[in-house]
Chains A and B, each alone.
Chain A
Amino acid sequence: MSTRKLIRRGRRAVGAVCIGLSLALAAAACGAGGEADQGSAPPADQTIVVGGYNYKTLDSGAASGYIGRSVQIGYDIFATLFDPPATPGGDPVPDLATGFSYSADLTTLTVDLRAGVTFHDGTPFDAEAVAFNVLRYRDNPSPASQYVQVVKDVEAVTPTQVKFTFKQPNANFISIMTFGYGAFIGSPTAIKADPAAYGLKPVGAGPFQVSSHKPGEELVLTKFDKFWDAANVTLTEIRYITTSPDAQVAYQHVVSGSVDSVQVSGSSTPPNTLTEADKNDDIAFIAGPDNSYTFLPINTYSAPFDNIDARRAVNYCTDRESIAENVQGGWANPAYVVAGPDTDYYPDGGVEGAKKIFPYPYDQAKGKALVQQLGGLSFSLINIGGQYQVVAQALAQQWTECGMQVEVKTVDGPALAEAYANGSYQMAYAPNGGLRDPSFNRTFQVPNTPQGKFGFAREHPEIPALIQAANGTSDKAELTRIWSDFFSQVNDLAVSIPVISAPNYYFQNKCLDGVNLGLFGSTFRTARLTC
């Protein structure tokens, strides 16, 4: 009957589809099999794929759109005058420059540039180019601008010597020429020709040049053969692709061999993903330096946190160790100062040392008493979601046990920026830091918050002077004293409440060696594929 025939046809259809799918999978298997093979000899093809983000502009001198994650790529495109000291407290390592000298009163800095260096477009990298870039950063609003405001003038003494004159004594400027944002020197010819195009395809003098950039899709860097140290650059191509911000997805990309390197933040990654990566011998799982921290930006310009007792109550009721251990699975440290333990001038004794000098140790009784004294404490806590929401909820639970009423809300990036700017928030949970030198963390607040705008001016009029004092000396003992004073004073009035600190973690192809993790993130100038 008809049904039987129908069945027969159905069988054939099933068979055909099954065979088709099998063939497709078999073909796929044949095609992909090579990915899993790891021979012992270094491969001739030194191309890597890096999971990344959607970079809107790579020009730190652009008025808008530059994100902190672009800085690490900048090191590979531009290189810098000096590289970071090999050891904490050491001297900067010459790169595009060969040496420097400060005047005795620290008001001028003379830098000797490496001769014969060219930008990717063939134009010369010289003193005029350095002066052009620094003055561009200084005179136009951009993320780099704040770092070079101290510059009064820049003079090209000779093509290979440039002299900076400062508005105030500044021993820190050599670090600014070493670390990010203001340190990147681009081709003046390319910048003048088309600033918007330069943002997408910047022209530097670094080890890699931008081959193509499709925002939202991929950024391809290829080795610049005329780089002054090209002989020591092994990778031939770095392909940054936009990957999901979800850490588990990023991890799976690396385990599958589709991506060679992905960076995730220890404070915003679910701990189970980090634990899984740590146990997986098929990939390299690496921790960078612990320089970043999360904190609670508080609006001290409106109720209830215009009252210091409300801020003290929050501090007493925050069990940082529990957050670091139970919520972040031990992949983060409790933060008792606005810095990570690998930050220069961190309090002696590491995290335990910082805990000892923290003025508000975890003490629910004291917190409850303050809440009662205030007649109750009710506020909202905003965050940008994901793991930040998880930690925010854990914090809210801790505070609820002290009698506070907390509403936790997730907002996206632009909404958070607006809330900061118009002061419509009461408290937020956010990350900060990232560099070893604390003086780069400028206001120790989100810049566009009320505190950020005024640099702690209302609660801490002494802070700007402390930061200036730190900029004005290179004496290590004096710097240690100044920063110790700074950390204590910031904690004192609880304007900026630290919560946890954590390094960036890297999921990497085991064959990828020599990646520099000490800057803002991974850079690949010295990296190579070994198998």
Chain B
Amino acid sequence: VLRLIIDRLLQMFVVLLCVTALGFGLVNLLQGDVVFALLGENYTPEAAATLSAELGLDDPIWLRYLHWLADAVQGDLGTSLVTKESVAGAIWGALPPTVELLIGAQVVGLALALVATALAVRYRWADRFVTFVGLVSNSIPSFVLALLLIIVFATTLRVLPSIGWADPARAGWGENLQAMIMPSVALGFSIFPEYMRVFRSEIQEQLEQEEYVTLARMKGLSPRRVLTRHVVLNSVGGLLTLIALTTGFLIGGVVIVEEVFSIPGMGSLVFDAISNRDSTMLEGALVLIAAGVVVANLVGELVHMQVDPRLRPTARAAR
């Protein structure tokens, strides 16, 4: 397990290097650099020259990247080219809303998947219905769903606020959780069909094909015991891996959901950084997001191993 962790951390280092180099390159190759973003209509060659020198943009891109990398390795993510605030500070401020949103979305996605799986197993019509809902979920853009939720629950019923973030330090946790319900649903709705499909097929596969199920039944274990103690546990493994994998996918959706619900999170931070060509802010955010995705995958893998002993390195070696 330790070796696996070391392997993954080494991989993470390579991933971070690639992601940051790519991000730095792309944001600097876009038409209109940070100088144009900052000066806008007040652009003059003289003002541009002064600002470029002030921001240290006169060096070639690769050299600027290496400078940034050297500082980042020492834990200094620099300051925003646009607002002059500390990148680490801005990320620290943007992280809680996004983490909360991701957790909320996963909870919603899992809850919907569990309910849908239970219904699908019980009723034939429900099987078709949840499959249909899954298709709808895959087809409806997050932006539209978010707006629909606002219109129904915030505007018409007035049971939830349309702003998706209330700082718990200011508004309290009750208001905070209340504000996070719709964004979590908007984001979680996009992942539940995948969870449902995997969970349902895993359960069916285990029940129908695995020898240990037959053995357990032959030993006289009750169907409930077979299901809860063995089948569900073995089926959950695939779901855990999927949760880890989905984290990366969800971060893409976070940008849209955060914008609609005015959540000042990582998605907004990245979007603004790209819009403003703020390469230092983008790099800081990418480091965190890439590391987060790799760590999430690692944790998923470790938990899966814990749940399913067959996946442990020792078991693999024995085979």
Give Cα A370 to B50, complex, Å: 45
Give Cα A13 to B277, complex, Å: 48
Q: What B residues does A447 contact at CB under 8 A?
A: 41-43
User: A405-426 vs B: 1/0 string, CB under 8 Å?
Assistant: 0000001111111111100000
Contact A65 B83 (CB under 8 A): yes
User: A131-150 vs B: 1/0 string, CB under 8 Å?
Assistant: 00000000001110000000
- Is there a chain B Cβ closer than 8 Å to A241's Cβ? yes
With A32-B160, A214-B264 as contacts: A3 and B40 at CB distance below 8 Å: no
How many Å from the CB of A145 to the closest CB on chain B? 9
Chain B positions near chain A (C-beta within 8 angstroms): 30-48, 50-51, 54, 82-85, 90, 93-94, 111, 114-115, 117-119, 121-122, 147, 150-151, 154-155, 157-163, 174-175, 178, 181, 207, 222-224, 226-228, 259-260, 262, 264, 268-269, 272, 275-277
How many Å from the CB of B228 to the closest CB on chain A? 8
> Of B117, B160, B272, which is in contact with the most chain A CB atoms at under 10 Å from its CB?
B160
Per the 8 Å Cβ criterion, residues 138-169 of A in contact with B are 141-143
Q: What A residues does B163 contact at CB under 8 A?
A: 49, 241, 243, 253, 258-259
- Is there a chain B Cβ closer than 8 Å to A217's Cβ? yes
Q: What B residues does A143 contact at CB under 8 A?
A: 42
How many Å from the CB of B287 to the closest CB on chain A? 18
Known: A5-B224, A10-B119, A259-B163. 6 other contacts (CB 8 A): A17-B111, A246-B260, A249-B260, A253-B162, A253-B262, A256-B154
Per the 8 Å Cβ criterion, residues 157-198 of A in contact with B are 196
Can you spell out 18 A-B residue pairs with CB atoms less than 8 angstroms apart? A2-B227, A3-B121, A10-B119, A32-B160, A56-B276, A216-B264, A216-B272, A218-B264, A244-B262, A252-B155, A253-B163, A255-B155, A256-B150, A414-B37, A414-B275, A415-B30, A421-B43, A448-B39
Q: What B residues does A32 contact at CB under 8 A?
A: 158-161, 178
Contact A258 B162 (CB under 8 A): yes
User: A234-265 vs B: 1/0 string, CB under 8 Å?
Assistant: 00000001111010110011011111000000
- Is there a chain B Cβ closer than 8 Å to A477's Cβ? no
Q: What B residues does A417 contact at CB under 8 A?
A: 32, 36-37, 39-41, 43
Partner of B40, one of A248, A255, A413: A413
Chain A positions near chain B (C-beta within 8 angstroms): 1-3, 5-7, 9-11, 13-14, 17-18, 20-21, 24-25, 27-29, 31-33, 35-36, 49, 51, 54, 56-57, 63-65, 67, 141-143, 196, 199-200, 214-218, 241-244, 246, 248-249, 252-253, 255-259, 411-421, 446-448, 452-453
How many Å from the CB of B175 to the closest CB on chain A? 7
With A32-B178, A411-B31 as contacts: A257 and B158 at CB distance below 8 Å: yes
With A27-B178, A244-B260, A414-B31 as contacts: A13 and B115 at CB distance below 8 Å: yes
Q: What B residues does A242 contact at CB under 8 A?
A: 262, 264, 268
With A9-B224, A214-B264, A257-B158 as contacts: A64 and B39 at CB distance below 8 Å: yes
The A contact surface, by secondary structure, is: helix
CB-based nearest A residue for B273: A216
Q: What B residues does A448 contact at CB under 8 A?
A: 39, 41-44
With A6-B121, A17-B114 as contacts: A252 and B178 at CB distance below 8 Å: no
A-B complex: 6 closest residue pairs judged by Cβ atoms: A2-B223, A414-B32, A10-B118, A217-B264, A256-B154, A64-B38
Contact B268 A65 (CB under 8 A): no
Partner of A64, one of B51, B175, B224: B51
Partner of A414, one of B33, B114, B228: B33
CB-based nearest A residue for B110: A17
Contact B160 A28 (CB under 8 A): yes
With A27-B178, A415-B30 as contacts: A56 and B46 at CB distance below 8 Å: no
CB-based nearest B residue for A7: B122
Partner of B158, one of A17, A36, A418: A36
Give Cα A51 to B260, complex, Å: 12
How many Å from the CB of A220 to the closest CB on chain B? 10
Q: What B residues does A7 contact at CB under 8 A?
A: 118, 121-122
How many Å from the CB of A265 to the closest CB on chain B? 16
Contact A252 B154 (CB under 8 A): yes
Contact A414 B277 (CB under 8 A): yes
Partner of A412, one of B32, B43, B178: B32
Give Cα A414 to B40, complex, Å: 7
Contact A24 B42 (CB under 8 A): no
Give Cα A241 to B83, complex, Å: 17
Give Cα A259 to B154, complex, Å: 12
Give Cα A142 to B51, complex, Å: 11
Q: What A residues does B114 contact at CB under 8 A?
A: 13, 17
> Of B30, B84, B228, B268, which is in contact with the most chain A CB atoms at under 10 Å from its CB?
B84
Contact A215 B85 (CB under 8 A): yes
CB-based nearest B residue for A448: B43
Q: What B residues does A199 contact at CB under 8 A?
A: 84
Contact B51 A2 (CB under 8 A): no
Contact A35 B37 (CB under 8 A): no
Q: What A residues does B42 contact at CB under 8 A?
A: 64, 142-143, 447-448
Contact B160 A414 (CB under 8 A): no
How many Å from the CB of A24 to the closest CB on chain B? 6
Contact A446 B32 (CB under 8 A): no
Contact A10 B122 (CB under 8 A): yes
Contact B32 A141 (CB under 8 A): no
Give Cα A64 to B42, complex, Å: 8
How many Å from the CB of A81 to the closest CB on chain B? 24
Q: What A residues does B158 contact at CB under 8 A?
A: 32-33, 35-36, 256-257
Give Cα A18 to B119, complex, Å: 13
Contact B147 A248 (CB under 8 A): yes
With A216-B272, A255-B155 as contacts: A3 and B161 at CB distance below 8 Å: no
Partner of B181, one of A24, A36, A51, A216: A24
CB-based nearest B residue for A215: B83
Contact B159 A29 (CB under 8 A): yes
How many Å from the CB of B217 to the closest CB on chain A? 8
